């Protein structure tokens, strides 16, 4: 009996020991598995977080690049618009100058026409009044000499200016001037302008014979006012071009 109990006790002890060893080993495996899973999960999470940050960075960089590109485009368009505006403004200004719609100043000559007094008349000279034809000749001579701006009694001469005799007056720009003296201003090369009127056989000499006194002064700064009228086009239009 005693021998059988001892064998049973030893057997039970061995079994218990083996069970404890198995449980311990299982616990250790589970513990290691959990640690491995935890480490694996942390690494995965870090990788995912890194991927998320990388995606956010790429999206932010893309938006930054797009914004920078748009800003540069706006700057270029703004610069282009500014240059276009400056070009158009210059063209308008040049056009206004050419049409006589701007006050101008510059070097040139001033021609004074007046009837001679009785004491100034030479023998066989007689006073003939200044007529529109005299003014037209002078204006044309000045234009041929390169005059850039002309006025008669402060009336700006432009391409549409009418100069005509109306009764005892001369009509300029539809205004009737009743006077015996006229002041003609012209801006341009003073030498050329003066030579076109004065000199032997010039129009000033012809006027002098008819009792009209002509005085010419060169000046470095002559002011000529702008044309106050309006340019109205009723019948003219751009011609159609054939393809």
Answer yes or no: is pLDDT of 143 > 90: yes
Q: Which position has the token pair 């006073």?
A: 127
The predicted structure's pLDDT at residue 208: 86
The residue extents of the domains of the chain are 1-99, 104-224
What is the tens place of the pLDDT at every residue in 39-89? Answer: 555 566 656 656 665 675 566 567 656 666 766 776 676 666 677 667 767
- Beta strands 181-187 and 104-115 are antiparallel
Q: Is 70 exceeded by the pLDDT of residue 136? A: yes
pLDDT digits (tens, 9 = 90+) for 118-133: 776 676 667 788 999 9
Query: What is the pLDDT, as a whole number, of residue 57?
Result: 56
- Helix, strand or coil, per DSSP, at residue 208: helix
Q: DSSP code of 225?
A: P
Average of per-residue pLDDT across 9-34: 48
What band does 116 get if pLDDT is binned at 50, 70 and 90?
A: confident
- Note the pLDDT of residue 27: 45
- Calpha distance 134→110 (Å, rounded): 16
Over residues 3-14, mean pLDDT: 50
| pLDDT digit string, tens, across residues 153-201 | 999 999 889 999 998 899 999 889 888 899 999 999 999 999 999 978 8
In angstroms, rounded to a whole number, what is the distance separating the alpha carbons of residues 7 and 19? 18
Sign of CA dihedral 67, 73, 79, 82: negative
Q: Hey, which of 34-38, 54-58, 189-193, 204-208 has the most confident mean pLDDT?
A: 189-193
pLDDT at 93 over 70: yes
- Output the pLDDT for position 71: 67
Using a 10 angstrom Cβ sphere, with 0-12 exposed, 13-18 middle and 19 or more buried, the burial of residue 23 is exposed
CATH code, 104-224: 3.30.70.1880
The pLDDT, as a whole number, for residue 150 is 96
- Of the pLDDT bands very low, low, confident and very high (cuts 50, 70, 90), residue 226 is very high
Q: Are residues 158 and 227 in contact, defined by beta-carbon separation less than 8 angstroms?
A: yes
Residue 235: predicted pLDDT: 78
Is 0.85 topped by the overall pTM? Answer: no
pLDDT at 33: 46
Distance CA 156, CA 228 (A): 8
Report the C-alpha gap between 188 and 107 in whole angstroms: 6
Instruction: Tell me how many degrees the CA angle 103-104-108 measures, rounded to the nearest 5.
Output: 145
For residue 231 the two structure tokens come to 């340019």
Within 8 A by CB and 6+ apart from 221, the residues are 105, 106, 107
Average pLDDT taken over every residue of the chain: 77
């Amino acid at each position: 009996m005693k021998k059988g109990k001892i064998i049973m006790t030893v057997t039970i002890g061995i079994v218990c020991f083996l069970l404890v060893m198995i449980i311990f080993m299982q616990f250790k495996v589970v513990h290691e598995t959990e640690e491995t899973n935890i480490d694996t999960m942390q690494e995965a999470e870090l990788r995912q977080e890194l991927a998320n940050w990388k995606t956010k960075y790429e999206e932010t960089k893309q938006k930054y690049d797009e914004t920078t590109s748009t800003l540069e485009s706006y700057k270029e368009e703004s610069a282009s618009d500014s240059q276009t505006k400056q070009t158009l403004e210059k063209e308008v200004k040049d056009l206004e100058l050419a049409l006589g719609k701007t006050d101008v100043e510059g070097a040139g000559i001033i021609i004074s026409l007046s009837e001679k007094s009785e004491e100034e008349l030479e023998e066989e000279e007689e006073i003939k009044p200044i007529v529109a034809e005299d003014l037209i000749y002078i204006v044309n001579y000045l234009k041929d000499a390169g005059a850039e701006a002309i006025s008669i009694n402060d009336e700006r001469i432009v391409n549409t200016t009418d100069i005509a005799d109306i009764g005892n007056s001369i009509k300029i720009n539809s205004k009737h001037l009743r006077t015996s003296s006229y002041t003609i201003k012209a801006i341009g090369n003073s030498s050329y302008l003066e030579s076109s009127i004065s000199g032997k056989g010039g129009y000033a000499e012809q006027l002098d014979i008819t009792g009209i006194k002509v005085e010419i002064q060169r000046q470095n700064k002559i002011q000529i006012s702008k044309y106050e009228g309006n340019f109205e086009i009723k019948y003219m239009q751009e011609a159609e071009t054939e393809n």
